[in-house]
Amino acid sequence: QVQLVESGGGLVSPGGSLRLSCAASGRTVSTFPLAWFRQAPGKEREFVASINWSGGIIEYTESVKGRFTISRDNAKNTVYLQMNMLRPEDTAVYSCALRWREYGSSPRKGPSEYGYWGQGTQVTVSS
């Protein structure tokens, strides 16, 4: 069993930055793909970014390219999302997810591909 716990959300002004963390416990996740999703009020859950087990294959949704960076520290069992140049439309609950496919490298954007989820952290971008 894997538990995922996000942290780092908050209120930030447009143009500001936040760094989200997602710490895994229960077992090592160094050989599994991880991803970040977000869900704004009244909208469906949306793929944000994914990273394969080694960190060598990364995928972003178009709207965050050049602004967000996903990374992982396998020694700390943690995945990160550095968010820069934040916009009001980035406001959402951000959740990390793990795909139960050891050494999986093909990027997956569908929530159904991921079997473990954190509880989410709120990110609000507002002046």
**Tens digit of each residue's pLDDT (9 = 90 or more) over 107-127:** 899 999 999 999 999 999 999
Backbone angles phi, psi at 86, to 5 degrees: -65, 145
Using CA atoms, how far apart are residues 59 and 18, in angstroms rounded to an integer? 19
Question: Which of these, 119, 111, 116, lies nearest to 29 by C-alpha position?
Answer: 116
Per residue in 30-71, pLDDT (tens digit) is 999 999 999 999 999 999 999 999 999 999 999 999 999 999
66 phi, psi to nearest 5 deg: 85, -10
Q: What is the pLDDT of residues 86-104, one digit of tens each?
A: 999 999 999 999 999 989 8
- Rounded CA-CA distance 31/103 in Å is 5
